[in-house]
């Protein structure tokens, strides 16, 4: 199934809006605690690192999705 370019961009923009809102009140206070420690980081920092890595993966997926299958531009 092939997704239109406009829909793909809207989904990516929607993800980034949700990710930005997830770092603010009222969502972030649910994650703003120290315990449990995850890879030596407090839980609140690990939550922010997860959002950052997920954002990178979304942009990486968009980059590969935009590539032509035969290499032509």
* Complete DSSP assignment for 26-54: TTGGGT---PSPBTTB-HHHHHHHHHHHH
Which pLDDT score is estimated for 46?
96
Which pLDDT score is estimated for 1?
55
Tens digit of pLDDT at every position of the chain (73 positions)? 577 889 999 999 999 999 999 999 999 999 999 999 999 999 999 999 999 999 999 999 999 998 867 555 5
Which pLDDT score is estimated for 4?
86
Which pLDDT score is estimated for 67?
87
**Domain boundary assignment for the chain:** 5-66
Contact (CB, 8 A) for 41 and 48: no
Contact (CB, 8 A) for 49 and 38: no
Which pLDDT score is estimated for 3?
77
């Amino acid at each position: 199934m092939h997704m239109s370019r406009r829909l793909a961009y809207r989904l990516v923009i929607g993800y980034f809006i949700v990710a930005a809102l997830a770092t603010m009140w009222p969502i972030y206070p649910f994650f703003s605690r120290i315990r449990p420690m995850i890879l030596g980081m407090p839980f609140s920092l690990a939550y922010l690192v997860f959002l950052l890595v997920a954002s990178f993966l979304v942009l990486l997926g968009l980059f590969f999705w935009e590539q032509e299958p035969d290499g032509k531009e």
